[in-house]
Amino acid sequence: MVLINPILATTAGVPDVIGLLFPNIPNFIAHVLATIVIVLVLSKLVYKPFRKAVDARRAKINELLNEVVEKQIQANKDRKEAEQFLKDAKNESLTIIKNARLDANSQKADILESANIEATNLQNHAKSSIIREREKAQDEIKQTIIETAMSAASKILEENIDEEKNKKIVDDFIKNLK
């Protein structure tokens, strides 16, 4: 033990404090070297494998995050495609409805035109039938008048004049009436 201050060493009751405060240099160097060896051994045996595990875990997490990002991008792309498909389907359905309405209106117009033509034909047929019936009735009335006039004239004259001549006289008379 080395005494630095001889006064303190000779003081009664003071233990060898100085020797205790300052470590033994060879012992101190051995402790420092042992600590360095322990740190190196621990870094080789514990820190490097731990660091590798952390790096591997970080790489796995990054890989999973990249997958999530890719899946999110794909999901957004699929959603946009689905929205476009839905929009196209809606436009197509509107086009189909529009075409169906146009076809229905066209058929309606055709049916109305056909009905109008048929009604016109029926009306014309009815008019021509009425005209024929009127002419027939007029002819029958004329014949009845002629026959009545002939009968009246023959009764008046009581003599039989030529029937053809009488008919001509009556026809001329009727023509003059018109």
- For residue 56, give both structure tokens: 């591997």
Does residue 129 form part of some domain? yes
- Residue 148 located in a structural domain: yes
The reply to whether 34 falls in a domain is yes
Domain that residue 159 falls in:
6-177
Quick: pLDDT tens for 47-62: 888 889 999 999 999 9
- Length of the chain equals 178
Find the DSSP H helices in the chain. Answer: 6-10, 17-21, 25-42, 48-157, 163-177
Looking at the predicted structure, is the pLDDT value of residue 73 above 70?
Answer: yes
- Looking at the predicted structure, is the pLDDT value of residue 5 above 90? no
What percent of the chain is predicted at pLDDT more than 70?
80
What pLDDT sits at residue 2? 46
| CB contact at 8 A, 135 and 115 | no
How far apart are the C-alpha atoms of 34 and 42, rounded to whole Å? Answer: 12
DSSP at 159 = S
Higher pLDDT, 34 or 150: 34
**pLDDT tens-place string over residues 119-140:** 999 999 999 999 999 999 988 8
Confirm if 150 and 170 have CB atoms less than 8 A apart: yes
Q: Which of 174, 107, 109 is CA-nearest to residue 143?
A: 174
Provide the number of structural domains found in the chain. Answer: 1
Tell me, yes or no, whether 1 lies in a domain: no
Asked if residue 120 is part of any domain, the answer here is: yes
Mean pLDDT, rounded, of the chain: 83
